[in-house]
Each structure stands twice: as structure tokens, then as C-alpha cells.
Structure 1
């Protein structure tokens, strides 16, 4: 997990639900939420085999893009090569390191033919991950690099690219098993992506925000006064996409500054910035996986919105802030909602 993602994780445990007016909320108990069926294991220390585009014997994939694929396995044993073979060409953006990929997949164990949990299963959602960051299995992370949105890929992943030499007892995968994936690249969000649209003015007693065209970060001017006691969240840009719901995974660009250490400054120092860390952040919203102020401020907004959130310490980091913030600091976040799945 990237450094700033870890800093935004909710501090243990007053998790706050969304209110209709986005202005206040009472703590409610909740559990950690893991909405995706996608495999997620630590990156293996063992070097990955080079990706090749074909092999002498390959499984076959049938079915239309955007639906569960049928994977037919050959009777012969796998060669051990890491194969990424495009089946359906895409016409969207190519995925590169730092971009965010949104994919669905079907998977089978070559040796047994067992179908593994996939993101086309009932109740599952697409897998969302930062490309080239080791955030998911190499079978997915490496496979999408250089591929366009709209592509369907056949991926033959030897153990080093899948579950490693330990396998997964829970899934019935041994440390010698090759896994076959059919991966649909639904969308690729550029590392530098920002929402578009005219930015609305805000009252003078709130932070003033200007986006820097050169690097995509926000310049935040903080008023020379005490921060509001409650959460203040309002759109700077009105999105026209779907409404964000609790439990969805959002892809956001953000810039965050401390109010208390920046009072009266025309350009506050940013203690967190997704652009500085290499690309957008993907977070599950409304389940306490991020600071409560984000959960409240983002739920109910529309995709394509830019949101200014002034977050009191009790909905941010409280008495245990990350390095660079003083205890009890209010936080100013500028958030671009790029996608919700």
C-alpha cells in the first residue's frame, strides 16, 4: 500500500456514517469491508518470468467481452511460461504504471479445472488497482500493462505470477499450480486524470482552491481564522456521473493540507497528495476504510465532482495524526471523484 493510502486509513475506531446534508454525523460501529473477490497477496520476492504473447499449447477463451468467460483447458501440462495473449483488442487508453485499472476476470486452475472465485461472480465487483504498484497478483498487475481499455486477455500465470510457492489452501491452489485467467480491462484511468468543468466560487470564510495545471495538485489558501467545528463539504465542480453509494470503490485524486498550521497562508503545504505519490487512490467508501470525514463528504456525490472538505480533527486523525500534523488538527481535502464501481 502506498504511504498516503495508509495515512488515510481510519484511525481505529469511531467510524462515521454519511448524513444527507454532508455536514455532521455520529459515530457508528462498523467492520472492515473487503468488497472485491479479487486475489490480493504480497508481491513475491522470487523474480517473475518474462511475459510472452503465445505458447505452443494454450487454453482457449470464449464468450463476449464484459461477461463471464468460458475457459477450456488443454490436456497437456503447462509449460511454465507467463503468457498474456490478447483475445479482443481494445480501443481505450493503454495502461501504464501509476494509472488505475478497472478489470473483471474469470479464473481456473490448469491442473484440476477448478473454477476460482472471480469478479463476475454474483455479488462481486470489479477489481480496481494501481498499475505497476504490486497492489494485486502479478497475473493481473503485469498482464494489463500496455493493454488498452476494452481488451480481453488470456493470462496463463505460473506460480510466481499467481499464488507463489505456498499456494492458497483456502482456494485449493497448491504452490505448483498454474492459474488461467480471462481478464476484461473495463477502464483505465490516467495517473494525471482530473475532473473537468468550471469551478464554482466558495465563501471567503472557507479555503480558496486553485488547481495547478503544471502538476495537477491543488493550491489551498486557508483563511486566517479558526476552522469550522463541524464537517463542511461542498462541490467545487458538479459531476454528472452516477451517485456514489456506500460500499463502492472510488478512484480519487486528492490534495490535503492542515488548516491549523496554515492559517492565513496563500498556499498551504500539502501533507498528502495523490499526484505526488504517482497517481489516483482507490478507496472503499462508507465502510470505515478511510478517515471518517472522507466517508461522509464523498457518499452521495456524483462521479466527476470536485469536492472541498474541511474536516475537524474528530473526523480526521484526532489525537494520533500522521507525521507532519499536530494532534487535533483540522484537515482540508480537495477530492476529484474520477470513478465509482
Structure 2
């Protein structure tokens, strides 16, 4: 079976995290128009068993010219649209062998620039609690055309949706605080930062730009978030989930204690924030990358983060 799906799921990290997620907020509760319809292939798929370990059955071989999507179990809550983030568990199987099923947790951003079109089409309009059967042809299951075999062969997928998160922080705007960089956001939530002139800060500072209405972030929570990181001195961007087109997840803990954590200053700033918030953090070297620096961050640099907190898994 082709490995394209595993390449976009970050399964190794997800498998180590809690599966109980806090739902996002700010998404529309109303109607949503799916990007894929049920078809003769997806309608043959049945699934029984718990999320992530369901037993699949379907008519072989599966053949499809475009992605087909059938909802086996309907969930509730806001529906995922392009740009939003979906968390859940999946079972996938070769379209020629019902016994070849593989299991994996997943987190996908519905962004066709980085996520194969088959997955965005299959998962658009997903809601928490949905069980979705999809048939995705090889041509729509990868962004690398060199991996596509000839013909209309396709694979079977069953997605159990745990949570749906907004693609950007939906919180209420807060009054600007003097002395911080200024931040403006594009319609899709992408932040733009203007660094003020003057001396480079040497102390840790943070402020809430948007106040979310969700749960309070605690130490060791696993945050689903968008983030932008900028070096204060030369205004260079050293990290951007917005540019990558994919939200990420981080432990709210010192990166020296866990490789999936964040720099100490950012961890301090995030604890006590609420889900749905956008936070601006100025991190001096002592609370950041110190005298060694990091990729894109020269030694001794003060850095600026803009973080959109989309959701969280409680500390396990």
C-alpha cells in the first residue's frame, strides 16, 4: 500500500499524546458544503469497532477517478472548512485487500497547498464524532506526481473525527499595549509584525492580542497552534506554520526537558492563556535560545512570537 498518507500525519508524535482533545471554538455551526460526494465505491465501505481500530470491509478492487466520501456516523458541532484543523484517528487499507488495514492518529490542516487534495476533499465539513468512509484515488493522495501509478486505483480510509479546530485564533480583540511590536492579521488569520525602533528588549514580556473563551492552558498541556517566530534585530522569520501551511502541536514545557516543548519564555507566556487566544511574546536570550542560538536564530538573539492557540489536550 502506498505510504503517502503516513507522510502527512506526524503519527510518531501523535501516538505519544493524549487522545482527549478540547474542541475549538469560532467555527460556523451552520451548513457546510462538502467537497466530495458519496460514490459507488465509498458506499461499499463498512466499519465496525472503536475509533482508530475499526475493521473495514468493502468491495475490491476499489476504483475511483475522484475522491468519494460517505458519512457512516454523524457527529455534532462546528464543521471544518478550508483552513481549519482536524484531529482524529484513521484506518486505511489497500483498495485491493481488505485485510491490509493500518491504524494511525492524525492531525490535518485543510490546506490544498500542502495537503493532498483527496484528504481535504474527504475531510471538509467533518464534525467531531463523525465517522467518514473515503475512497481516494492515487492521483489525489499525494502532492508528488512522481508517486502516482497509472490507472484509477484507489485506497480505502475510515476517519474518526475527535476534534475540529479553527485555523486561526477566534478570540475577541484586546486593546494594544504600548512598547510591543504591532501585529495585523490577514483575512485568513495570518499575522504580520512590525518591530519598533529603539533598543532591543532584554526582559520577557507578553500580551494577549485576542482573548479566547476556551479552557485555561496549563503546564504540560499539548497545544494545537499556529505560530510565527521573528528575530527582533534583523526582523527575519525563523519559523512560520502559516508559511508551512500546517498547524502544529507543542507541549507547554521547557524544550530542554522535552524535545516537543518550547523555549522557556514561551512556555511561561502560554500558561494561563485561554484556548482561542492570540498571544504576542517577546523572548530575550536568557528565556529563549541563549548564547548558542538555533536554526535561523543567531546566538544572543531576542525573538518575537505570535501564537494562535487553537486547541489543547490536557496534560496526561
Structure 2 unpaired stretches of 5+: 1-9, 17-34, 148-152
- Structure number with larger C-alpha Rg: 1
Q: Which residue matches 1:248?
A: 222
Which residue in the other structure is 2:250 paired with?
284
Deviation at 1:273, TM superposition (A): 8.2
Task: Kindly tell me the number of residue pairs found equivalent between the two proteins.
Answer: 265
Contact 2:217 2:270 survives alignment (8 Å): no
SS, match of residue 195 in structure 1: coil
DSSP-derived class of the 2:122 partner = helix
Could you list the runs of 5+ residues in structure 1 that have no partner in the other structure? 1-31, 39-49, 120-126, 168-176, 262-268
How does the TM-score come out when normalised to structure 1? 0.58
CA distance in 2, matches of 1:295, 1:134: 30
> Aligned to 2:217, what secondary structure does the other structure show?
coil
Query: What is the root-mean-square deviation in Å for CA atoms of aligned residues?
Result: 4.6
Q: Within 2, Cα distance between the matches of 1:79 and 1:198?
A: 49
Please identify which structure carries the higher helix content: 2
Corresponding residue number in structure 2 for 1:59: 45
Once the two structures are superposed, residues 239-279 of structure 1 have per-residue CA deviations (whole angstroms, 9 ceiling, x without a partner) of 44242553624122x44443334xxxxxxx57368596386
Spell out the pairing of 1:1-341 with structure 2 (5 A cutoff). Answer: 34-37=12-15, 53-55=38-40, 58-62=44-48, 67=51, 70-74=54-58, 76-81=59-64, 82-88=67-73, 92-96=78-82, 98-108=83-93, 111-119=97-105, 127-133=106-112, 140-145=119-124, 147-150=125-128, 151-157=130-136, 179-191=155-167, 193-199=168-174, 202=177, 204=178, 206-212=179-185, 216=189, 217-220=191-194, 222=196, 224-228=198-202, 230-239=203-212, 240-246=214-220, 248-252=222-226, 254-261=227-234, 271=237, 277=243, 281-285=247-251, 286=253, 287-289=258-260, 292=263, 293-299=265-271, 301-313=273-285, 315-316=288-289, 318-319=292-293, 322=296, 328-341=300-313
Quick one: distance in 1 between partners of 2:15 and 2:119? Answer: 13
Please state whether the residue corresponding to 1:337 is helix, strand or coil. strand
Q: CA deviation at 1:154?
A: 0.5
Please give the TM-score of this superposition, normalised by the length of structure 2: 0.61
Q: Secondary structure at the match of 2:14?
A: coil
Task: Report the counterpart of residue 29 of structure 2 in structure 1.
Answer: none
